[in-house]
Amino acid sequence: MPMHNISTDLDQALALLRAGELVGIPTETVYGLAADAADPAAVAKIFALKGRPADHPVIVHLAGREQLADWARDIPDDAWKLAEAFWPGSLTLILQRQPQVPDAVTGGQDTVGLRAPAHPLTHELLRRFGGGLAAPSANQFGHVSPTTAEHVQAEFGDRLRLILDGGPCPVGVESTIVGLTGPQPALLRPGGVPAEAIEAVLGRTLVHHEKPQTAQMRVSGLLDSHYAPRTPLLVGPLGALENEAYRRFESGERVALLHRSQMLAAVCGAECHAMPLGAEDYARALYATLRAFDGGRFDVLLLEQPPQTAEWLAVNDRVKRAASRFIG
């Protein structure tokens, strides 16, 4: 696979972005597919390359809170407090947009998502760029998010002129999204910053907006699928997965078992892989592991369900979306 479009050349990245082209950028959460957020034609290229529906809003990345008022208006105190506490970092704020923010960025809505990423290379890129960079995760629509430059390369190949290489993403799941346009601050997506840390800064609890869709409801390929590997992914308790692995092996399937047991040596017929035990390590490894086991080597991936506690909220959210089905 040609790797000539992976580099650490900030000057080249700036030149491409200023010319209205796309660049893959590292962030501490996942890699983004970036374009000048003030240029609707450049933003349109993101949607074309990702195969993403045009009415989906994209996050605008900034160097820091000095730029907040360039993009948002009627900014509430809560936004300043959260930006002060967590920027640069993995927190996205949904605010009322300034009128000049292109519809291509907001999906035609009156709001805009803003975040200042903490990755040093991209922070420096944003500082020198001066404006905002619209960037969704750098993956084909619906697929697993990329956490290395090579993952981005695998998604888009030569159709992307440059991927800035910032190494593996240290957080590994997307930013936490907090909506600040309603009567109460709302957790719209759990992510890199724990909800409790946000609540501590705000001095009140976040409203949780559960999307109605659950993995259990989803019929593969029919409903909206996010963060998903292409190989079927079954999630459940270890005992049920061991039975499933054995049954599938007997019928000739190639099975991978991603577990959190320290004692599991082997399960007949399955390739066993130990996932990290801690929530942060697990989040960092999740997407890269799904990618490593995807791609045709296995007929099915079996994933032991992580603990159902607060510190695992972001991981469980992504596992739920990646899963074809829960068993056991």
Return residues touching ligand TXA (CB under 6 A).
Answer: 27, 29-30, 32, 56-59, 90, 92, 94, 106, 109, 111-113, 115, 117, 135-137, 174-175, 177
111 interacts with, out of ligand TXA, Mg ion, none, CB within 5 to 8 A per kind: ligand TXA
Q: Which is nearer to ligand TXA, 59 or 323 (CB)?
A: 59
The least distance separating ligand TXA from the CB of residue 131, rounded to whole angstroms, comes to 16
Instruction: Judge whether 60 and 105 are in contact, CB under 8 Å.
Output: yes
The DSSP result for 243-263, as a single string, is HHHHHHHHTT--EEEEE--SS
175 touching Mg ion, by CB under 5 A? no
Query: CB-wise, 107 or 269, nearer to Mg ion?
Result: 107
Shortest Å, Cβ 3 to ligand TXA:
21
108-167 binders of Mg ion (CB under 5 A): 137
- C-alpha distance across the termini of the chain, in Å: 40
Query: Which value, to the nearest 10 degrees, does the dihedral of the CA atoms of residues 268, 320, 194, 109 take?
Result: 150
115/320 with CB nearer ligand TXA: 115
Looking at residue 211, the DSSP 8-state letter turns out to be -
Indicate the residue type of 75: I
Closest approach, Cβ 52 to ligand TXA, in A, equals 8
Q: Which is nearer to Mg ion, 137 or 181 (CB)?
A: 137
Q: Nearest 5°: phi and psi at 6?
A: -100, 125
Q: What is the smallest separation between the CB atom of 156 and ligand TXA, expressed in angstroms?
A: 14
Looking at the Cβ atoms of 92 and 231, the one nearer to ligand TXA is 92
CB of 139 to ligand TXA, least distance (A): 8
Which CB atom, from 86 or from 298, has the smaller least distance to ligand TXA? 86
Structure tokens given for 251: 């019928």
Query: How many Cβ atoms sit within 10 Å of the Cβ of residue 215?
Result: 18
92 binds, among ligand TXA, Mg ion, none (CB under 5 to 8 A by kind): ligand TXA
Minimum CB–partner distance for residue 146 and ligand TXA (Å): 9
Residue 96: contacted member of ligand TXA, Mg ion, none (CB under 5 to 8 Å, by partner type):
none
Both tokens of 298, joined, read 């296995």
Interacting residues of 128 by C-beta distance below 8 A, sequence separation 6+ = 10, 14
Q: What count of other Cβ atoms lies within 10 Å of the Cβ of residue 10?
A: 15
Strand segments (E) across 116-237:
133-134, 163-164, 176-179, 186-189, 207-208, 233-236
Residue numbers of the site for Mg ion (CB under 5 A)? Answer: 137
